[in-house]
Every structure is written in structure tokens, then in C-alpha cells.
A and B are shown apart, each in its own frame.
Chain A
Amino acid sequence: MRLNITDLRRTQGSRVFVTLVPLAVGLVLARFTGVQVDLVVPSLLAAVMVGVIQQALP
């Protein structure tokens, strides 16, 4: 079965995979690497990613 990523938003249950699961993953990653990685690396990652994907803005 082919997964259409836009379908992830369409049901309330699937919002868990878009919101809570990534949030939990981020919290767990920070628990083990937070002090070493600092706050700059995730901010830089966000800066690059959003700067690129904003090209798709209508």
C-alpha cells in the first residue's frame, strides 16, 4: 500500500504521528545529547530546512 504523506493530517489519530511522536523523539534525543550538541545545531537545522522548503509557498 502506498503511503500518501498528506493523508497523515486527515485523521485525528494520525496527528499523533505528526505531533506527539516527533516531540517525544526530540525530547529523548535531547536527554542524551542535549548538553553536547547545544541549542545552535537544532536551530541551524531548522533554519536550513525551512529556508529551502519555503520555496514551495504559493
Chain B
Amino acid sequence: MVIMITRTRVLGFRTDALFAGAIFLAVSVLVGAVAGATLGAAGQLVAMPIRGVVGVSALLAIAVAAVSRRLPWQLERETSIRWLEYQDWRTAAYNSASLSLGFATRIGFWMFYLVPIGAFMTGSALKGTLVYSIYGGARSVASLVLAAAAMRSAHITDRVLNLYVSLRTVGDIAFFMLAGYLVGATVTLITGGLNAG
């Protein structure tokens, strides 16, 4: 990931990392926005009690799997090395699009599933766009920060990679807490609507 950013050439100069970073960030937000708008619009097509049941069912199925499985369901695939050969804007754009979608490569954390499910459960194309584009933006900004840090210190990437096992546990705790919140809030919304009706 870091290599993808530092090897990117946009204008053909070694100093154009800034342009590459801008493309990287813009594409990630754009692709995230499209994915989120699609999921949010799909949620919008389904009326609330059913949308809530679908969302809660998905969350519970993933929660059950997360209890028994160490790693999340994911494609065992890394970012394509062939993209490095382009040596132009496509290296940044393709890599960024792949990262922003999330599921195109390894996910690593069960918490990722809250992004697409959350975008769907909002039942709004606008809110879905917000959720998924924030994910793409956060992932690309963090990648750019790490790439910038790696240019100054070669050991920083190894240090971050060494945190993976610990972060997986932290991610699991956050996943279960936020999934519980989404389930509880959805049940409250459904039962509140039923009582009002």
C-alpha cells in the first residue's frame, strides 16, 4: 500500500507525490461515495421494518461468525502488483479505488462489515454516501500519512504491521459494541414505530 503511493508518478517527476496523494484521496472519496449511495438507495427502496430486520439479521450473522472465526470472511488477495508498472496516475487511482471499496482485497477486521451494512441501514442515499466516503477518506488519509512517515523512517511500516494482532482484538471489541448499538437502535426504531402505529 505504501509502495503504491510512493511509486506513483502523475506528471512524470519524482516530486509529484502531492498530485498522486490528491488523486489517491479524491478517487477514494468518490468511489466510496458511489458505493455508499448505491447501498443507501437500496435501503431506501425497502420500508423500515423490513430494512431493519434485514440489517439486524446480517449483523447477528456476522456477530455469530466473529465469535467462532478469527479472521473475517474476505478475499485472500492483495493489491495488484501490476498496477506499479503503470508509473502514472492509474497507480494511485486503481489502488485507491480498491482500498476504498474495502472488500476487493483483504479486510482483516470484522468491523469493516459495519460500513456497507450501516450504509444500507441508514435508508438514505445521502447518509450512505457519507458513511462509505468517510471510510474511503479515512483509509486513504491514513495511508498517505503512513506513506509520508515511511519516507522519513523505514521502520515505521514494520512497527504498524506489528500492531495487527493487538488491533484485531481492539477491532473486535469495537465491532461488537457498535453492532450491539445498531441492533438496539434499530429494534427501538421498529418497536417505537409499531407502538406509534
Interface residues, chain A, with chain B CB atoms under 8 Å away: 5-6, 8-9, 15, 17-20, 22-31, 33-35, 37-40, 42-58
Contact = CB atoms under 8 A, between A and B. Distances in A.
Contacts of B142: 51-52, 54-55
A33 B183 CA distance: 13
Contacts of B135: 47-48, 50-51
B185 A42 contact: yes
B84 interface: no
B122 A39 contact: yes
14 contacts: A30-B180, A40-B131, A45-B174, A46-B118, A47-B118, A47-B135, A49-B171, A50-B109, A51-B135, A51-B142, A54-B107, A55-B160, A56-B164, A58-B164
Interface of chain B, helix or strand or loop or mixed? helix
A8 B176 CA distance: 15
A50 B4 CA distance: 20
Centre residue among B63, B121, B169, B186 by max chain A CB count within 10 A: B169
Interface of chain A, helix or strand or loop or mixed? helix
A35 B189 CA distance: 7
Nearest to B105: A57
Contacts of A5: 166, 169-170
Contacts of A27: 180-181, 183-184
B194 interface: no
B138 A18 contact: no
